[in-house]
């Protein structure tokens, strides 16, 4: 089959399955989609990430499998994040770039710089993704940046994610523990949202290793 015929067949199959909630149907499609890292396959896959009105599980799988292309798409995604103007997709691109840590990413410093820049976005979801990525890739100095989100982010969940990011950075570099606790304890005196307060306490508990009687799974994982 020609390259054009292959892409047309994939497009037709996607149109058929995009609202179907069938894991095995999705897996068959994704196996074909990710069979190659040739440009036409990668471009087509990226275009599918713009499709929001589809089966939710299928969309998550599309995003996961794009990141699972690994180093073959790291440069591609860094090119896209520089020109992408749609906040949801830009956030997804940043998240996938952060996932390159699992694939031995070669340009993680650049990804961290993008996360620092997007911490100041006006879009709640985009700030959320930037907080996650700095939790994965951040350094000692990023704790100071994240403290602004911990104290002042207008979104309650993002303040909680900032607290969780401190713990993630601590897991990579335990020398950051004292600095993180300084900010987290300050946040306890400022925070008014009960759910966010719980998350702050959970992460204090995780960093100190002291049991405060709070179940640590309440805010433990990044949504898929």
Query: Domain coordinates of the chain in residue numbers?
Result: 138-224
Q: Averaged over 7-34, what is the pLDDT?
A: 96
Backbone angles phi, psi at 38, to 5 degrees: -60, 150
Lowest mean pLDDT among 1-10, 40-49, 142-151, 164-173: 1-10
150-208: pLDDT as tens digits: 999 999 999 999 999 999 999 999 999 999 999 999 999 999 999 999 999 999 999 99
Whether 129 shows a pLDDT value over 90: the answer reads: yes
57-102: pLDDT as tens digits: 999 999 999 999 999 999 999 999 999 999 999 999 999 999 999 9
Whether 54 shows a pLDDT value over 90: the answer reads: yes
Q: Do 141 and 107 contact (CB within 8 A), yes or no? A: no
Whether 218 shows a pLDDT value over 80: the answer reads: no
Dihedral angle of Cα 150, 155, 160, 166, to the nearest 10 degrees: -40
Q: What is the pTM of this model?
A: 0.91
């Amino acid at each position: 089959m020609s390259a054009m015929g292959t892409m047309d067949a994939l497009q037709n199959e996607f149109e058929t399955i995009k609202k179907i909630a069938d894991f095995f149907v999705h897996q068959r499609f994704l196996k074909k989609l990710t069979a190659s890292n040739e440009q036409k396959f990668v471009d087509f896959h990226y275009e599918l990430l713009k499709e929001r009105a589809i089966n939710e599980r299928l969309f998550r799988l599309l995003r996961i499998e794009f990141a699972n292309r690994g180093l073959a798409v790291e440069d591609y995604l860094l090119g896209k994040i520089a020109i992408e103007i749609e906040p949801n997709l830009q956030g997804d691109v940043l998240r996938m770039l952060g996932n390159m840590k699992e694939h031995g990413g070669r340009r993680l410093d650049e990804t961290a710089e993008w996360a620092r820049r997007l911490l100041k976005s006006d879009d709640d979801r985009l700030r959320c993704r930037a907080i996650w990525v700095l939790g994965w890739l951040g350094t000692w100095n990023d704790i100071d940046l994240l403290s602004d989100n911990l104290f002042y982010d207008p979104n309650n969940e993002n303040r909680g994610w900032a607290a969780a990011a401190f713990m993630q950075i601590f897991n990579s570099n335990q020398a950051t523990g004292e600095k993180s606790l300084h900010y987290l304890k300050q946040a306890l005196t400022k925070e008014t949202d009960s759910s966010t307060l719980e998350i702050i306490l959970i992460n204090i508990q995780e960093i100190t290793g002291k049991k405060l009687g709070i179940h640590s799974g309440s805010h433990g994982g990044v949504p898929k």
